[in-house]
A and B are shown apart, each in its own frame.
Chain A
Amino acid sequence: MASYFRLLFVISCAFQAACTPNISPWERGILAKPQMSFQSNALESSLRKHMQHSKEASTGGHSTGGGGCGCS
């Protein structure tokens, strides 16, 4: 029985408001700002990616560009 409660506790923790921030598509204006991007320098990161692609003969697996609006 105790394990059920443990399971229930873990599940309820996972669904707490702080764990599941419900950001609607129209609330992503601030997230879409360039300063919210993982790469601070877009030009440098694209050059690095280009070099990596040519050396590793692989591409993709990086973050995608876009407005963060869930539209592309």
Chain B
Amino acid sequence: MNKKISPLLFSLFLFSESIFAVSTGEAAPACLSNNFYNDQALDLSNYKGKVIYLDFWASWCPPCKSSFPSLNKLHQELHSQGVEVIAINLDEEKTDAEYFLKQTPVNFYISYDKEGNCPKAYDVMAMPSSYIIDKKGIVREVHLGFDEDNLKDIRNSILTLLSE
């Protein structure tokens, strides 16, 4: 029996894929992306001492788009207290994102990552995905998708992290 199963298991093992999703309690990985408007490289380590709401989005993803007004409100409310909302755009065509941002102007940091370096580093499982990173650069919460109902909880956990 074992002899029968072992080649099967071996072949499955051979073709299996490893998953390294960033989970809570881990350090936020560094990755390469550039400012959407001036191409300056984004370095998350510059934001140590701040609470970061890191969002992965694309203009073709309806929940990503619907999250933007709420994220902008969150940014306007909490930016002065040390919260940085950073949204990494993953559109294949930058013009699609430009068109959306013209329609929905936001004040928070937008970054562009055409190559997908950052979602690979974080192993993004859904769009949008957001990571709440504390003042020391540790991922404290991961949210898959966006639900308006969760906003209150997100806001509360950000406030808790601010007070740490």
Q: Does B1 contact A (CB under 8 A)?
A: no
- The answer to whether B8 touches A7 (Cβ under 8 A) is yes
In the assembled complex, the Cα of A69 lies from the Cα of B60 at a distance in Å of: 8
Chain A residues with CB under 8 Å of B120's CB are 24
Chain B residues with CB under 8 Å of A8's CB are 7-8, 11
- The answer to whether A25 touches B93 (Cβ under 8 A) is no
Q: Taking chain A's interface residues, is the majority helix, strand, or loop, or is none over half, making it mixed?
A: loop
Q: How many residues of B contact A (CB 8 A)?
A: 32
Q: Does B116 contact A (CB under 8 A)?
A: yes
How extensive is the interface on chain A, given as a class? 20 to 34
In the assembled complex, the Cα of A68 lies from the Cα of B61 at a distance in Å of: 8
- The answer to whether B63 touches A33 (Cβ under 8 A) is no
Chain B residues with CB under 8 Å of A22's CB are 17
Give B92 Cβ to nearest chain A Cβ, in Å.
5
In the assembled complex, the Cα of A34 lies from the Cα of B93 at a distance in Å of: 16
In the assembled complex, the Cα of A32 lies from the Cα of B17 at a distance in Å of: 25
Q: Which of A4, A11, A26, A70 has the most CB of B within 10 A?
A: A26
